[in-house]
Homo-oligomer: A and B are copies of this chain.
Amino acid sequence: MEIVLDRRSATPLYLQISRRITALIHGGALPPGFRLPPERRLAAALSVNRSTVLAAYRELKADGLVDAHVGQGTTVQPRRFEPLEIGSVQSFPWSQALARAPQPQDPLVRDLLELTERDEGISLGVGLPAPETLPVETLRTITDRLLGEVGAPLLMHSPTEGHSPLRETIAAVLAARGIVCSPSEVLVVTGSQQGLDLVARVLLSPGDEVLVEAPSYFGGMQTFRAAGARLLSVPTDHEGMRPDALAALLERHRPKLIYTLPTFQNPSGAVLSLERRHRLLELAARFSVPILEDDPYAELRYDGTSLPTLAALDRHGHVLYLSTFSKLLAPGLRVGFVVAPRLVIRRLVLAKQIVDLHTNTLAQVVIDRFIRDGHYGPHLERARAVYAARRDAMHEALQAGTALGVTWRKPEGGFYHWCRLPDGVDQSRLLARAAAAGVSYLPGQPCFAEEGGAAFARLAFSYAPAPHLREGISRFLTALREVAAEPAAAERDRNGTRPLV
């Protein structure tokens, strides 16, 4: 019975002994009936205290592997494969096993998604497309026709890079956004969330710095945080990222990535001006930092003139472009896409292979057919008209907030009104009161990597129909009026500690 002890190990000696004997029993080297050496003898052989061997044998007995009887010593028990007695069940210490895992940040997105499953109240909280705008009947007809004509291949695997015809179609769609790329530079992803995660996987290591806008998309920030990155905030105004602040940060730090939503930003609705687009590209090239351009709202402009995407202006090949069909066609189908240099695509593909092999085949083929059959343009027109009307309805309803000190800019596109609340409003009380009144919204805090969100609220006009939007804003403003009229929490606390006079 060979037992080698590691005296520098963190594992106590008695456990090392009992584990070794367990292994020998399970391995068959110590058959049932085998008599273990007397404790004293084993202790001497191993140069340990007798109490150490005693403790080891006690462990083995507790596990039912050995039994001890006076005069017979300690013998290996016959193997027992009956379910363990309930009394002896030791539950696996999962919380310990999970403690070392990266701790994802707040489960806000998930909670918001869960809210959408409920039918209560008016949701101004989620950045979802209007279900009424989704081209359900057209997608239904296409799906049925394809399953009838093509059949089983639609239910089989497809390449990790994406269904080849869809990659061509995406390249063609992007030409309209000024992006000239070949299908081989397009990767289909399982929603743009996966695009964020894959980019983080191939570019970021724990401790790396990422520049994000303040405010920025919480899902993106959550992904970079989960990858172990440190987020640095670039201040913004209504024209997007401020170049002076960006320049100063680039000079002091060595970020691995600049993450930006230059067009109808989530949550602010801001559009990065053309001049700043050029400056951002120049600065990033100068400091050799790649840019991830997240552009889900690209085609949702309701007024004004389109600006070229960063990817379209890019002369250094340092922009990764991310977009999705979720805001226009069907968020539930989880189809997005990344455009990047081939070298980067190859690495993203290797990562995607590990993540989910490939994106749902049927969803890709159906979306490809939808676009090829010419439905995309007309659908876009209809959707834009719906959202423009909703934006206007919310904008008008918000006018009543001006007197309360609410300020906002009417966005030219996208899904959101980004409102600055009057000073000193207690956001958590506002959120609770709004919920009680049957309206949800997104408080500003999770949209900021650092401080600064408490004064803001993101109100989505995309999801609810205009009458609901009006009612929702009315309830929101009522809640705000009530909260503003109450003494602030800090004051109440101060009151609490003051003697009554």
Contacts and interface: CB of A to CB of B under 8 A. Distances in A.
A132 B290 CA distance: 47
B151 A136 contact: yes
Contacts of A160: 110, 113
A360 B360 contact: yes
Interface string A1-44: 00000000000000000011011111111000000000000000
Contacts of A93: 288
Nearest to A279: B26
A313 B82 CA distance: 10
Interface SS, A side: helix
Interface string A317-334: 110000000000111111
A358 B113 contact: yes
Contact of A92 (B109, B245, B318): B318
A197 B190 CA distance: 15
Contact of A344 (B98, B159, B246): B98
Given A26-B244, A81-B275, A83-B315, A356 B191 contact: yes
A483 to B, nearest CB: 30
Contacts of A102: 201
Interface centre among A19, A24, A94, A223 (most CB of B within 10 A): A94
B332 A104 contact: no
Contact of A155 (B153, B190, B332): B332
A17 to B, nearest CB: 11
A465 interface: no
B19 A354 contact: no
A176 interface: no
B22 A283 contact: yes
B22 A97 contact: no
A22 B247 contact: yes
Interface string A183-210: 0000000110110010001110100000
A482 interface: no
A97 to B, nearest CB: 6
Interface string A58-88: 0000010000000000000001010110000
Given A197-B354, A343-B95, A344-B98, A131 B152 contact: yes
Contacts of A359: 334
Nearest to A94: B343
A385 interface: no
A437 interface: no
B283 A347 contact: no
Contacts of A380: none
A113 B152 CA distance: 16
Interface string A112-156: 011011000000000010011010100110011001100111111
B357 A193 contact: yes
A-B pairs, 8 with minimum CB distance: A332-B361, A27-B244, A92-B318, A155-B330, A131-B152, A23-B247, A23-B251, A140-B147
13 contacts: A22-B251, A23-B250, A26-B246, A26-B283, A84-B315, A101-B347, A110-B349, A143-B144, A144-B144, A155-B333, A157-B332, A193-B355, A334-B359
Interface of A: 19-20, 22-29, 63, 79, 81, 83-84, 89-95, 97-98, 100-102, 104, 107, 109-110, 113-114, 116-117, 128, 131-132, 134, 136, 139-140, 143-144, 147-148, 151-160, 190-191, 193-194, 197, 201-203, 205, 219, 222-223, 226, 243-248, 250-251, 256, 274-275, 278-279, 282-283, 285-288, 290, 313, 315-318, 329-334, 341, 343-344, 347, 349-351, 353-363
